[in-house]
Structure 1
Amino acid sequence: DSANADFTSWNYITGSRDDGLHYEEASSYPEISIAATYSTYPVSIQNSATNISGYGDSYITFYPGSEIGKLRVTFNGSDSREWKAYVIKSSGINTHDIEYIDLSPVSYNGEIIIENFESYNSVTLAGVNVSEFSAGVLFTYSANIILPYEVSSKILTEDSSVYSGSSKIFDIQVNNTAIIGDIFRVIYWDDQGWLPIDTVNFALNSGDSTIVSINVSPPQGTSLSGVSELQFKTESWGDTSVYVIDTMYAVIALQRGDVDFSGSIDIADIVSFVNYSFGGGDSPQPIVLAADFDCNGLVNISDLVALVDYSFNSGPYCECNPY
Structure 2
Amino acid sequence: MLDKQKIALFLAVLLLFAAAPSLRADELIVMNGLAETLSKVDLETGIVDNNFVTVGLIPNFLLCRNGKAYVVNSGSDDLYIVDIESEIVEDVIDLGSGRNPWAMSFVDDTILLVTNFISSTLAKINLNLNSVTGEWALETRPQGLMTIGERTYITISGFNPSDTSYGPGKLAVWDNVGDSIIQYVAVGTNPQDLDIGPDGRLNVVCSGDYEGLPGMLYMVDTASLAAVDSFQTATSLFPPTDVLVTEDRVGFLAAGGWFDKGEVYTYDPINAVMLHGETNPLTTDLGVISVAPASDSTVFSLNFGADNITEMDSAGNVLKTYYVGDGPQSADVNRIGPGYICGDVNDDMIVNISDAVNIVNYVFIGGEEPSPLESGDSNCDGSVNISDAVWVINYIFIGGNLPCDTDADGTPDC
Calculate the TM-score normalised by the size of structure 1.
0.29
Q: Please state which structure has a larger fraction of its residues in helix.
A: 1
Calculate the TM-score normalised by the size of structure 2.
0.24
Q: Please state which structure has a larger fraction of its residues in strand.
A: 2
